[in-house]
Amino acid sequence: MATVLVTGGAGFIGSHLCDFLIKKGYRVICVDNFLTGSESNIAQLKENPLFKLINHDITKQLKIEGEVDYVLHLASAASPIDYLKYPIQTLKVGSLGTHNALGIAKLKRAVFLLASTSEVYGDPKVHPQPETYWGNVNPVGPRGVYDEAKRFAEAITMAYRKVHSMDTKIARIFNTYGPRMRKKDGRVVPNFIMQAINNEPLTVYGEGLQTRSFCYITDMIDGIYKLMLSSVTEPVNLGNPEEYSILDFAKKIIRLTESTSEITYEPLPTDDPKTRQPDITKAKKLLHWEPKVSVDDGLRKTIEWFREN
């Protein structure tokens, strides 16, 4: 069976990806420095002979023994409060980290997949966002450290593809949620669920008119896996087009948790995108992929997990 190296494998999406690949019978090498990931996300895999953990910062060079067939590069802070707390690490993992991960893939003649993001579209002026849209990013704003690191990561991936004839893939991941998100990672789903189950006010930023579209983790893993095995070489949006204003999303979570919470309004963070919805025409056509889990069902499962943990 093939070997897959997953950088950021102890994080939210990465650990679900490791579980999924191990179940399919792949050998998995997880590289993570636990900046925002955790041991508990991969505790269930530690004794599995197919699984190996390397505690390493991917911005520093790494020598891997043996064959590697796929390199899936997910390492990066992803929550706005994480990348605001670690701006330089975020820029380094998107640039130096992607360079090193590409270097491993090149040496091993492995397929390379970059976990990019809808943030490459910035505060978009085109709605919904197709892959052909080039984006509206403020390079010197607080989100620039993440957005520009990912834009650089896409550019260096394309350069390696061209110069070294490598097989590369770029997944533009839109807001994804589910079990294992950190309670305090600051993203809207864990914030609202924790506030609602504790009957505390839900903190809506701005007037809550900004929109997001939410994809459940199992759908995202399915999409990443289909892209990994595909012959698609251009960037592909992966996300669930079900779009909500943040205010409606807060009300939905209050209803699903049967909470007595009220809503409070806090200042909108600088450069917070006003709208976001993936155009997934390409993923449907080229990967035969589209999300199967409705936002209500996905949220119910996520709420249950947060209650149990």
Catalytic residue positions, numbered: 146
Q: Work out how close the CB of 130 gets to ligand NAD at its nearest, in angstroms, rounded to a whole number.
A: 17
Q: Computed from CA positions of residues 132, 127, 215, 123, in that sequence, does the dihedral angle turn out positive or negative?
A: positive
Q: Work out how close the CB of 176 gets to ligand NAD at its nearest, in angstroms, rounded to a whole number.
A: 4
The answer for residues whose C-beta is within 8 angstroms of residue 178's C-beta and 6 or more apart is 12, 16, 216, 217, 218, 298, 301, 302, 305
In this complex, which beta carbon is closest to ligand NAD, that of residue 190 or of residue 261? 190
Asked whether position 246 contacts ligand UDP by CB under 6 A, the answer is yes
Asked whether position 302 contacts ligand NAD by CB under 6 A, the answer is no
8 A C-beta contact, residue 228 and residue 110: no
Say how many residues touch ligand NAD, by CB under 6 A.
29
- Answer for which of 21, 93, 110, 299 binds ligand NAD (CB under 6 A) is 93
Distances (CA, A) of 13 to 19, 160, 180, 228, 269: 10, 25, 9, 15, 25
8 A C-beta contact, residue 25 and residue 1: yes
Residue numbers 248-307 binding ligand UDP by CB under 6 A = 269, 272
What's the CA gap between 19 and 26, in Å, rounded? 10
Q: What are the tokens at 120?
A: 């490459």
The answer for residues whose C-beta is within 8 angstroms of residue 54's C-beta and 6 or more apart is 29, 30, 31, 32, 62, 64
What's the CA gap between 43 and 306, in Å, rounded? 18
Q: Work out how close the CB of 63 gets to ligand UDP at its nearest, in angstroms, rounded to a whole number.
A: 34
| Piece in contact with ligand NAD (CB under 6 A), picked from 73-81, 124-132, 256-264, 289-297 | 73-81
| Piece in contact with ligand UDP (CB under 6 A), picked from 82-90, 124-132, 159-167, 199-207 | 199-207
Asked whether position 136 contacts ligand UDP by CB under 6 A, the answer is no
In this complex, which beta carbon is closest to ligand UDP, that of residue 69 or of residue 242? 242
Asked whether position 176 contacts ligand NAD by CB under 6 A, the answer is yes
Q: Which candidate, 224, 216, 194, places its Cα nearest to that of 14?
A: 224
Helices marked H in 110-206: 144-164, 188-197
Asked whether position 80 contacts ligand UDP by CB under 6 A, the answer is yes
Cα 214 to chain center, whole Å? 12
Asked whether position 5 contacts ligand NAD by CB under 6 A, the answer is no
Q: What is 27-57 written as a DSSP string?
A: EEEEEE--SS--HHHHGGGTT-TTEEEEE--
Which of ligand NAD, ligand UDP, none lies near 169, with the C-beta cut-off 5 to 8 A by kind? none
Asked whether position 100 contacts ligand NAD by CB under 6 A, the answer is no
- Residues constituting the chain: 309
Residue numbers 16-35 binding ligand NAD by CB under 6 A = 31-35
| Piece in contact with ligand NAD (CB under 6 A), picked from 7-15, 193-201, 261-269, 275-283 | 7-15
Interacting residues with ligand NAD (CB under 6 A):
7-8, 10-14, 31-37, 57-59, 74-78, 93, 97, 115, 117, 173, 175-176
Interacting residues with ligand UDP (CB under 6 A):
80, 175, 186-188, 191, 203-205, 210, 212, 246, 269, 272
